[in-house]
Amino acid sequence: MPSWSTFAKEAPALEAVARERLQALLIAYLATTSRGGAPRVHPVTPILTDEGLYLFMEPDSPKGHDLRRDGRFALHAPVDAPIPTVAQVYFAGRGRAVEDTENRAAVGLAADYPVLDRFVLFELEVETVMCTRPGVEDPYAVTREFWPPR
């Protein structure tokens, strides 16, 4: 499964934009699929390290149940205005629970909030990234970049 580090090696300029957008935010929006197939959207605080993109959550969180059952996710960094002036970044892939205590400790140190012992950790394995940038003169004249390239 691809990881953030693979993305960073293969598309360093796009990774820099994605990293900046994720680190500039307090939250992003995670989409998962419920057991019945309905989409769900959850505000989350992603944690980005050089190795991966992670989420801590409560053990009984619906998003955790969804990721354990199905794995598929989409993550979107919020936009700054109705007509965005900054890049919009979207990620899709599969989430997996992380049980490794060393990895958990390292990700916990990178978190911007206290990580409680009861929290569970998921890595969001990134398979697709899309970045939409507004035009300088005309914000509706957007450009899109994809990883892997289309």
pTM of the shown model: 0.92
CB 28 within 8 Å of CB 22: yes
What are the residues whose beta carbons fall under 8 Å from the beta carbon of 85, sequence distance 6 or more? 134, 139
pLDDT by position in tens, the chain (length 150): 678 999 999 999 999 999 999 988 789 999 999 999 999 999 999 999 988 999 999 999 999 999 999 999 999 988 888 888 889 999 999 999 999 999 999 999 999 999 999 999 999 999 999 999 999 889 889 999 999 998
